[in-house]
Amino acid sequence: MSWKQTRRNALRLRRNGRDYWDGDRKYGYGGYSYDGRWRPIAEKMAAHYGLKAGDRILDIGCGKGFLLYEFTQAMPGVEIAGIDISEYAIENAKEESRPFLEAGSAARLPYEDNSFDFVVSLGTLHNLYNYELDAALKEIERVCRGNAYIMVESYRNEREKANLLYWQLTCQTFYAPEEWAWAFEKAGYGGDYGFIYFE
């Protein structure tokens, strides 16, 4: 695929509609349906952060709500909420999660201060521009009264940077781990974080 075609695809996918979630693989997931893959992740996070019935969990960039559904299965009695920029994802979310999801921006969360015991965001915040990123991190701090975990795309060397630049479909913020750490500290984000690399 040429660079021009990759750019056209990326621009098309920034709309985060059907093409991104359930269209051809060259446009995104190539069909994103529930398959249970998020259950072990929910269980590990629940154990690590000591989550329990009655806790409130927010997923920023929740997509179709699969991880949130798994939290309810791993820990019956938790309360879930999710937000995603994609109205298509919300409309096509897992039925059990859908009532607790809404379309919106990570930079302007529609929740009260200190309203969640755990906030998670996997593979989302790198899709923001840097000025949106700072606002989103501050919003996470504002709504979180407990623990938080963020995972973003990053690179450790020029090969991984080239792979990220070529692979990225919706990424806007291309930071090395040290730059991410600086952005987190600058925004006052005190939670945990991790990275995914394209080796």
pLDDT digit string, tens, across residues 174-193:
999 999 999 999 999 999 99
Query: What's the predicted TM-score (pTM) here?
Result: 0.88
Q: Examine the pLDDT at 157 and tell me if it is beyond 50.
A: yes
Q: Examine the pLDDT at 6 and tell me if it is beyond 50.
A: no
Order of strands, edge to edge, in the sheet holding 56-60? Answer: 101-103, 79-84, 56-60, 116-122, 144-153, 192-196
CATH superfamily of 38-196: Vaccinia Virus protein VP39 (3.40.50.150)
- Comparing 95 with 25, which gets the higher pLDDT? 95
- Main-chain dihedrals φ then ψ at residue 152, nearest 5 degrees: -135, 160
Q: Examine the pLDDT at 127 and tell me if it is beyond 80.
A: yes
Integer Cα distance of 31 and 184 in angstroms: 32
Helices 39-49 and 66-74: crossing angle in degrees, nearest 10, is: 60
Integer Cα distance of 194 and 74 in angstroms: 22
Q: Are 71 and 57 in contact (CB under 8 A)?
A: yes
Q: Give me the pLDDT at residue 170, please.
A: 82
- Comparing 92 with 31, which gets the higher pLDDT? 92
In the chain, where the domains are located: 1-32, 38-196
Q: Report residue 27's pLDDT band, with 50, 70 and 90 as the boundaries.
A: low
User: Distances in Å between the alpha carbon of 145 and those of 40, 43, 187?
Assistant: 24, 21, 16
- Please, which residues have CB within 8 angstroms of residue 35's CB and are 6 or more apart in sequence? none
Q: Give me the pLDDT at residue 25, please.
A: 62
Token output for 26: 């060259």
CB atoms within 10 A of CB 176: 15
